[in-house]
Structure 1
């Protein structure tokens, strides 16, 4: 782990001190060969060797050798499902969420690296649509979905995803919903704090729970909101420091009103000095470098080294989601089976 941390520090320090014209040759995404053409919007980075990715056409991929080889490990008979989110604890244990109305929203769990899966939830509500899941620890987690009868759907588990129960969700505004673009419309930090990101209405909001989803409070962000705009991803470094990012997926080169920062647990939000030059669907904090963030989207990837106040684009390709493992290794995934690792260019 110490060696991986030193590599991460070297890569990011090189990027930070490089001249503007050296962006493409300092920090970049190094592609891996997955053998898949699915759109991968779910990603869980365990470390520099182990990662899981999930997406369309019933795709769940796993690598245990840093991306040199990938194996399709999805449950049999799920070819019609779209696995938009996945949370992995190690090389053997993962929880995958498929999205869609009615019984297209399902949760599966594996403890043997994907050789076998157990279906632990299948949605029975005709109009419910689940979007994202996240875990506080190996036992406690949440799954969230779009509103039904004016209330966001929330599921809770206390046994590592073996079983799920409905808990009362927060009230929604007219037209409000979530975006399942990166598996990051729900984020957790610490043992009890969770944040739910929204769009679709007249304002883009972030809702916060400090009791593992039992109660919620809402705050308005400065991000633009419409049927195609809002907060697509939310990330918190700790229970106080966080970021909300998104934009308008129908206008992907417009980065105006697409990012906000919070230093008080999401009670209030402020726009930074600069922001990425386009819609971004995924964002993550580096696990060791407290002020370093990485954002990805269809028109590029950007990094910030001052807690999100200023940003530099380092990659022009399209990616949908990003995650960093516990040893500091960072991964990203997107369309046509793309999975990449963060490298010196």
Structure 2
């Protein structure tokens, strides 16, 4: 594939050269960020530019491949939890904070974080934003926990400068206790111009919701991942319209992990096993996919059906536009090395 360069090609070479009984040898290269925040939001643009966001009003940006980082958060946001961020380049980014009431907000910068515009503030005390994903530089969605029995979805068609709550007539009824997990910015995923998927937990069954019309209508499908107040689908990713991976488990029992794969756009899901609770997932290239969580990182070469743990360090989220970046607690940020 034309984008299988750099780390992707190197990892493939390693995998082909190592005997089947051995574990391929990628590793994370840590970068000092100067922050102790828990970084649950991550958006890597290229090998040089990446943005990360997290607790205590933290938004970090690097433009030199992780060698140096700058705090770029909006002013007067030290109490906010920035659980998701979408960067389009070194200058343009959209950040999502989560929480009850007006703690759920959206900000956008067009000058590399020198200034921000607050473009959305939740005014409904029953609403709670979870995560965000974009189809392109203009069109994106935010998903929030159910309000009046249905998941709430917001949409933008101007790059996050304004947001509209979509009608919920096309959204199935939520199960009692069902909600999303704001653990990694990856409880919603997009692929192509129109398809989106939302992962859930907390109800009688874990479910993944699929929309083919940018969030106007949705269809819910049960998954084999376990469901409880602390377990469910924490992250979902699709490499094309048909092939998807979901990961999760129980954050209250982090050594208990779960995953599933789909080959039919999310209409059905087949169980697989990861070594522990995993909150982040991303496709590398072809059928290679990576999952991360507080107890380690796993790599699959067959689209998520089989996994091998290659690192036991703690990360919450992962982003792989052309090389893989991961972020997590205590300001940990790393890039994947073969």
State the TM-score, normalizing by the size of structure 2.
Answer: 0.96
Contact 1:136 1:189 in 2 (8 A): yes
Indicate the residue corresponding to 1:217 in structure 2: 219
The structural deviation recorded for 1:16 is 5.4
- Matched-pair contact (CA < 8 Å) for 2:202–2:230: yes
Secondary structure, in 3 states, of the residue corresponding to 2:331?
A: coil
Deviates more, 1:7-16 or 1:143-152: 7-16
Q: Closer, same or farther in 2 for the Cα pair 1:20/1:316, shift >3 Å?
A: farther
CA contact (8 A) 1:15 1:27 kept: no
The correspondence of residues 157-176 of structure 1 with structure 2, limited to 5 A, is 157-169=156-168, 170=171, 171-176=173-178
Contact 1:4 1:329 in 2 (8 A): no
Q: Is the 8 A contact 1:63 1:70 kept in 2?
A: yes
* Matched-pair contact (CA < 8 Å) for 1:16–1:305: no
Q: CA RMSD in A?
A: 1.7
The corresponding residue for 2:28 is 29
CA distance in 2 between partners of 1:149 and 1:233 (Å): 24
- Is 1:311 the counterpart of 2:307? The answer is yes
Counterpart position of 1:82: 81
Native 8 Å contact 1:178 1:185 kept in 2? yes
SS at the partner of 1:103? helix
C-alpha distance in 2, partners of 1:166/1:16? 48
Shift of 1:296: 0.2
Task: Write out aligned runs for 1:131-210 (5 A).
Answer: 131-169=130-168, 170=171, 171-210=173-212
Q: Contact between 2:260 and 2:305, CA under 8 Å: does it hold in 1?
A: no
CA distance in structure 1 between the aligned counterparts of 2:6 and 2:49, rounded to whole angstroms: 19
- Any stretches of 5+ residues in structure 2 without a counterpart? none
Partners of 1:72 and 1:172 in 2: CA distance: 38
5 Å-filtered alignment, 1:1-345, equals 5-15=5-15, 17-18=17-18, 23=23, 26-169=25-168, 170=171, 171-255=173-257, 258-272=258-272, 275-286=273-284, 289-325=285-321, 328-344=322-338
Q: What is the total number of aligned residue pairs between the two structures?
A: 335
Query: When the two structures are superposed, what TM-score results if normalisation uses the length of structure 1?
Result: 0.94
- Give CA deviations for 1:193-215 in whole Å, capped at 9, x if unaligned: 00011000110000000000001
| Corresponding residue SS for 1:14 | helix
Contact 1:208 1:217 in 2 (8 A): yes
Unaligned runs of 5+ in 1: none
Tell me if structure 2 keeps the 8 A contact 1:109–1:118: yes
SS at match of 1:336: helix
- Quote the Cα distance in structure 2 between the aligned partners of 1:124 and 1:3: 42
